[in-house]
Chains A and B, each alone.
Chain A
Amino acid sequence: MLEKFLKIDRRIIFLLLTLVLFIPIVKPLNLPIGAVSVDTKKQATAIVRHCFKKDLRVGVITFIAGATGLIEEIFEKVPQEYRKEYGKDYVIFPYQADYSAVLTQMGFDLYQIYDKDKFGTHPKNLPVMQGIKSYKDMGMGICITGTALLDGWVAFAGDKFKFPLGGGVTAVSQPGYGPYLQTGQLVGLLGGMKGGAEYESLLGIPGKGTSGIDALNLGHFMVVILILISNIIIIVTRYF
């Protein structure tokens, strides 16, 4: 009888999860609230805000073709909040294909690769790039990624050129960066959505991610409860 329960149609579990996540959206339950932000895009937004708040110059590069759209979405909004201008306070460079070659080249002379910005102007003519030629002219690099690109940054940019690096990664890969943090190969790391939100609250910037928290609360407990139920059933059927 109980064993049948273990073999239930997985679609019933799917339906359960849908309800657990969807109902709180329609009808908030007001469970304890903490800030949870969405993903690496949130991390990137928080970091750009921080840089602008501190009046730092920002240069953006990417090696993931799918990320170019996200970059535009971030920079369409955030610079206005701090009255920052393209070319004067920040610059966006075009996508490049081979990260190992580009990261190596940026240690010597980045203009050999980035001879044009996203709009086709020569970056040397932009005020934001004055006095910047290679890593040693920059304060630090921050790599935000949903892939293993951060490893490439550590190896090709950080270690080789003694360039201070920070990272923002998805939650699943966060535990894997303990070794680089311990050796100082990474100076800081944001992990997943919680990282982005914690960073935002440290900066005193109100994140808007609080609404999702009910759903995530319930969803997480559902996973734990399902694992426990299935294992209790097994123990019960075996020993009683």
Chain B
Amino acid sequence: MMLIKRYIPLAIVFVFGIMTLATYYIPPKLAQDYYLETMNKWINIVAAFAFLLALLSLFYSHYNKIKRKVDGWGYSIFVYIGFLVVVVCAIKSEGQLMTGPALTSLGWIFRFLYNTLSASMFAVLAYYIVSTAFRSFRIKTLQAFVLFMAALFFIIGKVPLGNVLWNKLFFWTNVSISQVTDWIINVPSVAAKRGIMIGIAVGAIVTSLKIIFGIERQYMGKD
């Protein structure tokens, strides 16, 4: 059992890892014909099934809430209602949002239900940005002051009123606010982001090597 439960999966990750890695360094034509083309097609299909994991675990947790009648279990029914409404409309419209110039039922659901809900959910965050800015943006250190100044340039640089104000107050510097924000993006930001990128790249390379060699296998779950 150990063989099919553990060793073969570890062999799979090793073999596919090394082979995929190798394709980067051998002539593309060769890699493409014998390996990559098939793999790319397969991976794309397997990845689509991974979505079922998210779907089933959501269904399962809300099914449990309803079954156990935990506080607020009635709301869980709306998860199923939302799902069914979209799927039924999709089947009716065969996955199309429009037929010619007319909205299908799926198109209606997208515009008035799904899009409205997701836009509203994210829009609410604007309120929290503002209240957090008031309650916890404390300029206590020089570092916090630098962060505030950078943010300030971008906030006022983004709106016309800010540009007008800047030109009135700082016309004598001969520098426009967009030159300042451009400089921040093109010079100090490049240094900072590049440092982060190199850090992440090193981390990704190490983790990937650990996965290929079977050292990191948390994703496999417990035995």
Contacts and interface: CB of A to CB of B under 8 A. Distances in A.
A and B in contact, CB less than 8 Å: yes
A121 interface: no
Interface string B179-200: 0000011100110011001000
B155 interface: yes
Say whether chain B's binding surface is mostly helix, strand, loop, or mixed: helix
Given A17-B130, A105-B37, A216-B159, A179 B44 contact: no
B164 interface: yes
B148 interface: yes
A237 interface: no
A47 to B, nearest CB: 21
Interface string B35-73: 011011101111110110000000000000000000000
Interface string B154-168: 011011111110000
A102 B40 contact: yes
B97 A174 contact: no
A229 B131 CA distance: 12
Contact of A76 (B43, B98, B118): B98
B134 A227 contact: yes
Given A101-B44, A227-B134, A108 B161 contact: no
Contacts of A221: 156, 159, 161-162
Interface stretch (A6-14, A52-60, A124-132, A199-207): A6-14
A175 B193 contact: yes
Contacts of A17: 126-127, 130
B133 A223 contact: yes
| Interface footprint category on B | 35 or more
A32 B159 CA distance: 9
Contact of B133 (A109, A174, A227): A227
A31 B161 contact: yes
Interface stretch (B5-13, B75-83, B135-143, B211-219): B135-143
Interface of A: 6, 10, 13-14, 17, 31-34, 36, 66, 69, 72-73, 76, 96-98, 100-102, 104-105, 107-109, 112-113, 160, 171, 174-179, 181-182, 194, 213, 216-217, 220-224, 226-227, 229-231, 234
8 contacts: A76-B101, A104-B40, A108-B37, A112-B41, A160-B24, A177-B193, A179-B190, A182-B190
- 10 interchain residue pairs of minimum CB distance: A34-B160, A98-B47, A105-B40, A97-B47, A178-B190, A97-B48, A226-B134, A101-B40, A217-B161, A101-B43
